[in-house]
Homo-oligomer: A and B are copies of this chain.
């Protein structure tokens, strides 16, 4: 059984390859009555292109979304929403030379084994970061849907290489500033240091990774489907699908392994008639259910695998050792591009689970 769909109520099916004609998505299960048009998607796509071009690859794709179905008179209809973006900028010539030379850190080698050599290898094909466009498009629908319930997902860059944002910023600051810097870090001084680190790595023909945090706001308590479709488990799953992610943690995360129970537990108290927690080491999830506190999740992004430096590899036709210098246009650090993707991924899963929990209805409200 193949696996190009995700979600159980808000079901996202992805298609398209890096150097094919289109990248696209079908969303099945979006409630009827959500105001929606191409204008809700375009700004999200644009966020994949950071304003300061020297830190991204030469491939600047002015992606333009086209909605194929599921929207009528400015509202979602309850029918599947299909959207595509054309791959205008695809230049496949770089890849023919390296067809038989799997790039270290990429899926080239296992993909060739899996598909018996029939996979579209150009630019990584189905495994390219390019296909995250599908998540962005689906995320745009999810965000519009969540906004009707005052739920929001805020992702931002927490670290690039060893440059780390240690300050705690307010949700308002993060919301306001995260997309104003090229690296998608809401702290301007820190953002500058991150940019410098990226530029330096690029000059060295090398690359950097980093850490992205995402905060889910407004999710009521009790969202998540135990035992196996726990909210944190489903968030972890979709976040591991963001290319280059190698780890995910909630709240105190790996640090909680060194805490004592009396330090880690989030005590409750009443506040204005509502149950709140005094701390949020749990990251807003208890036993796989949302606790009503902000959902806090972080992902580790590995350094970009495509680097200019020469690397050892093998020739899969000749079955002998070889060397490779990965040409093409590549980002020295994918963290900035990954920020809106992480945000979209979290929004998709929150939308899916809020429908599952019955918190979001099947028709937002009757048409007048």
The reply on A340 being an interface residue by CB < 8 A is no
The reply on A55 being an interface residue by CB < 8 A is no
Q: Are B286 and A82 in contact (CB under 8 A)?
A: no
The reply on A170 being an interface residue by CB < 8 A is no
For residues 107 through 156 of chain A, which have their beta carbon under 8 Å from a beta carbon of chain B?
107, 109-111, 113-120, 124-127, 131
Chain B residues, CB < 8 A from A320: 270
The reply on A265 being an interface residue by CB < 8 A is yes
Q: How many angstroms between the C-alpha atoms of A256 and B210 in the bound complex?
A: 8
Chain B residues, CB < 8 A from A237: 233-234, 236-237
Q: Are B82 and A301 in contact (CB under 8 A)?
A: no
Q: Are A236 and B230 in contact (CB under 8 A)?
A: no
The reply on A102 being an interface residue by CB < 8 A is yes
Among listed A43-51, A71-79, A175-183, A187-195, interface-contacting one: A71-79
Chain B residues, CB < 8 A from A222: 110-111, 113-115
The reply on A98 being an interface residue by CB < 8 A is no
Q: Are A246 and B256 in contact (CB under 8 A)?
A: yes
Choose among B8, B227, B246 the residue that contacts A250 (Cβ–Cβ < 8 A).
B246
Q: How many angstroms between the C-alpha atoms of A232 and B127 in the bound complex?
A: 14
Chain B residues, CB < 8 A from A13: 5, 13, 26, 28, 80
What are 7 of the A-B contact pairs (CB < 8 Å)? A2-B9, A79-B125, A114-B222, A211-B257, A236-B248, A247-B249, A261-B304
Please give the count of copies of this chain that the complex contains.
4
Q: Using an 8 Å CB-CB cutoff, how does the interface string of A217-261 with B read, 1 for contact, 0 for none? A: 000111111111110111011111101001111111111111111
Q: Using an 8 Å CB-CB cutoff, how does the interface string of A70-112 with B read, 1 for contact, 0 for none? A: 1010011111111010000000000000000010111101110
Q: Are B5 and A260 in contact (CB under 8 A)?
A: no
Q: How far is the CB of A153 from chain B (nearest CB, A)?
A: 18
The reply on A366 being an interface residue by CB < 8 A is yes
Residue of B nearest to A304 (CB): B261
Q: Given A32-B115, A228-B241, A264-B209, A20–B125 Cβ distance below 8 Å?
A: no
Q: Using an 8 Å CB-CB cutoff, how does the interface string of A297-335 with B read, 1 for contact, 0 for none? A: 000111111110101111010011100000000000000
Q: How far is the CB of A58 from chain B (nearest CB, A)?
A: 17
Chain B residues, CB < 8 A from A2: 9, 11, 28-29, 78, 80, 225, 229
The reply on A60 being an interface residue by CB < 8 A is no
Chain B residues, CB < 8 A from A256: 209, 246-247, 300-303
Q: Are A24 and B77 in contact (CB under 8 A)?
A: no
Q: How far is the CB of A284 from chain B (nearest CB, A)?
A: 10
Q: Using an 8 Å CB-CB cutoff, how does the interface string of A251-290 with B read, 1 for contact, 0 for none? A: 1111111111111111111100101011001110011111
Q: Are A283 and B118 in contact (CB under 8 A)?
A: no
The reply on A206 being an interface residue by CB < 8 A is yes
The reply on A21 being an interface residue by CB < 8 A is yes
The reply on A356 being an interface residue by CB < 8 A is yes
Residue of B nearest to A355 (CB): B1
Q: Are A312 and B267 in contact (CB under 8 A)?
A: yes
Q: Are A260 and B80 in contact (CB under 8 A)?
A: no
Q: Are B259 and A303 in contact (CB under 8 A)?
A: yes
Q: How many angstroms between the C-alpha atoms of A78 and B119 in the bound complex?
A: 7
The reply on A169 being an interface residue by CB < 8 A is no
Residue of B nearest to A281 (CB): B302
Chain B residues, CB < 8 A from A199: none
Q: Are A29 and B1 in contact (CB under 8 A)?
A: yes
